[in-house]
Amino acid sequence: MEIILITTAFIAGFIALKCNLPPLVGFLIAGFALHAFGFESNDTISVLADLGVTLLLFTIGLKLDVKTLLAKEIWAGATIHNLLSTAVFSIILIGFKYLGLDSLAQVSVSSIILLGFALSFSSTVFAVKSLQEKGEMNAIYGTIAIGILVMQDIFAVVFLTVSTGKIPEWYAITLFLLPIVRPLFFKVLDWVGHGEMLVLAGIFFALVIGAGLFEFVGMKPDLGALILGMMLAGHAKASELSKSLFNMKELFLVCFFLNIGLSEQPTVTGFLLSLLLLLLLPLKGILYFLVLNKFRFRVRTSLLATISLFNFSEFGLIVGGLAFKMGWLSGDILVALAISVPLSFIVTAPIVRKGHEIYHYSAQWLKEQTAERINIRDRFINPGSSQLLILGMGRIGTGAYEEFHARYGKICLGVELREDAAQQHRNEGRNVISGDATDPDFWERILDTGNVKMVLLAMPHHQANQIALEQLKKRSFNGQIAAIAEYPDQLDNLIEKGAHAAFNIYREAGSGFARHVCEQLQPDFIKY
């Protein structure tokens, strides 16, 4: 059986990929097809599927800044949209019920409200994968979308916990001690080094400390994995840990999507109802856009975040699956929900892929916020009279800033990824803003680079400098561009891509060190 499952999943995922659809659509269809031929889910597939969801939430937590969730536009935006969409969907479906629609005629009002609640969620898996593929996880609209999705995941976990009637044990209060032992978790990550031990540490934290501990005290394991990930997000290895778990998480999620298809046999009634549910997608998108726009984000940010969230969710399926087990939803409703999720992926995949084109086409009809009213996280960037733009204010960028400031005065504008680091630079008297130079949205927000004569690409990762260089060239920047790199082939690559000068950081650091020694120590060498 396992050979048939793997083969079918591979073929279906490959076909979906060649059709420019996410492979997960193929996995869902493969599950339905296998179920039609008499195959059913088993304990192994279910366990691996649960592991996939747990690792997904853990890796989301690793990339999440807790302060993001505390932002009003995230927690309030997610809450308002959840309530509005549940109410609107429920009213429409109740209307269809009383109009005599067969598939809803025998469904109770409370079950329809539950279905509306399940449909209010958007897919974490789909959104994260599409943002990763476009390299826009750190874009403002990407962080907003991920923040809303995490809030929705929390809503789902709370519902699952409450609906099962399972009250946490009294000793669940010990979970409040986790922040106290956080430094110990950081030490463990320091000690394990890299490679297979780092991967094993990630699995240990996600499944044993996170999921295992929370399950032991009577709470949802997935919530524990998410919280553990968020606790480890501040560690220097958080990004490396997330990348090391990526392939394992993706493999387990194949089982998750297969499991959905294997769970229930599609019916004509369920399929027709799923088509009706798809008609609710535009309303869902409109509600997202209106809510985000009310928080005074730019049209571009609101629209692209809406497009990222423009689908139904696998968490909605989890909610529906539990409701089915509790006898609150019929099999036809669960089938309709299960079919509508992959159909929503199929419908929205090309929309997500062409998100930027849709914005450029529709921007002329959408009213933009006035500059002074735009949300502080989304405001336009005005370089002003700055003539030198330094991307990356680490040790090299800071050293370059100080040197140019000493030579030419106040001509520099530094760009630092982290807001806390940018604030520290400002406290020390430097002209530094926070921003992600690898994010196309960052360049969209820059009002005018007319005074900028030179850009220094001083970010620590070659790929980041390469992406920033591509963005500059795409926007026809006419000034000079200089970049740093670690290896000779990277220097050649930067020059080929359009940099006017590229410097090896080790060689330059070595020559600078020698120059500093000669100036400070005045060695009495004999020249030959």
Any domain includes 488: yes
Any domain includes 377: no
pLDDT of residue 184: 92
How far apart (Å, rounded) are the C-alpha atoms in residues 34 and 40?
8
pLDDT tens per residue across all 528 residues of the chain: 678 888 888 888 888 878 867 677 788 788 888 887 888 778 888 888 888 888 887 887 887 767 777 888 889 999 999 999 999 999 999 998 888 777 777 778 888 888 899 899 998 878 887 787 776 776 778 888 988 988 887 787 677 666 666 667 778 888 888 888 889 999 988 898 888 898 898 899 999 988 888 888 887 787 788 888 888 888 888 888 888 888 888 888 888 878 877 766 667 777 888 888 899 999 999 999 999 988 888 888 889 899 999 999 877 777 777 777 777 777 778 778 878 887 888 788 888 888 878 887 887 787 776 666 777 777 777 787 889 999 988 888 898 899 888 888 988 999 987 777 888 999 999 999 888 787 776 777 776 667 889 999 988 788 788 888 988 888 888 889 999 888 888 888 889 988 898 888 877 777 767 776 777 777 777 766
Q: How many domains does the chain have?
A: 2
Q: What is the crossing angle of helices 462-474 and 488-497, to 10°?
A: 10
Any domain includes 375: no
Spatial neighbors of 370 by CB under 8 A, at least 6 apart, are: none
Considering the domain architecture, whether residues 151 and 196 belong to the same structural domain is answered as yes
Considering the domain architecture, whether residues 114 and 243 belong to the same structural domain is answered as yes
pLDDT of residue 314: 74
Considering the domain architecture, whether residues 400 and 352 belong to the same structural domain is answered as no
Q: Which run of H or of E encompasses 2?
A: helix 2-18
**b/e string for 181-204 if b means 16 or more Cβ within 10 A?**
eeeebbeebeebeeeeebbebbbe
Length of the chain in terms of residues written: 528
Any domain includes 381: no
Q: Are 455 and 475 in contact (CB under 8 A)?
A: no
How far apart (Å, rounded) are the C-alpha atoms in residues 251 and 515?
53
Q: Are 95 and 105 in contact (CB under 8 A)?
A: no
Considering the domain architecture, whether residues 287 and 406 belong to the same structural domain is answered as no
φ, ψ of residue 246 to 5 degrees: the values are -60, -55
The angle formed by the CA atoms of residues 154, 291 and 351, to the nearest 5 degrees, is 85
Considering the domain architecture, whether residues 342 and 421 belong to the same structural domain is answered as no
Q: pLDDT tens digits for 200-238?
A: 988 999 999 888 888 888 877 877 888 888 888 888 888
Question: What is the DSSP annotation of 173-209?
Answer: GGGGGHHHHHHHHHHHHHHH-STHHHHHHHHIIIIII
Phi-psi bin for 442: left (phi > 0), alpha (psi -120 to 50), beta?
alpha
Supply the range of the domain harboring residue 151.
Answer: 1-363
Considering the domain architecture, whether residues 314 and 412 belong to the same structural domain is answered as no
pLDDT of residue 135: 66
Any domain includes 370: no
Q: Are 473 and 499 in contact (CB under 8 A)?
A: no
Question: Tell me, what CATH number does 450's domain have?
Answer: 3.40.50.720
Q: How far is CA 401 from CA 387, 390, 395, 496, in A?
A: 12, 7, 10, 26
Any domain includes 527: no
Considering the domain architecture, whether residues 324 and 394 belong to the same structural domain is answered as no
How far apart (Å, rounded) are the C-alpha atoms in residues 375 and 378?
5
pLDDT of residue 385: 83
Considering the domain architecture, whether residues 54 and 188 belong to the same structural domain is answered as yes
Q: Two tokens at 335?
A: 């089938």
The amino acid present at 307, given as its one-letter code, is I
Question: Tell me, what CATH number does 256's domain have?
Answer: 1.20.1530.20
Spatial neighbors of 387 by CB under 8 A, at least 6 apart, are: 408, 411, 412, 451, 452, 453, 454
Unique residue bearing structure tokens 């059913």: 40
Q: Two tokens at 352?
A: 């997500």
pTM of model > 0.75: no
pLDDT of residue 429: 92
Considering the domain architecture, whether residues 413 and 300 belong to the same structural domain is answered as no
Half-sphere exposure of 163 (CA within 13 A, CB side): 18
Considering the domain architecture, whether residues 211 and 168 belong to the same structural domain is answered as yes
Any domain includes 26: yes
How far apart (Å, rounded) are the C-alpha atoms in residues 387 and 234?
34
Q: How many CB atoms lie within 10 A of CB 119?
A: 27
pLDDT of residue 348: 85
- What residues pair up with 72 in beta bridges, in sequence order? none
Considering the domain architecture, whether residues 294 and 399 belong to the same structural domain is answered as no
pLDDT of residue 281: 92
Considering the domain architecture, whether residues 358 and 498 belong to the same structural domain is answered as no
Any domain includes 369: no
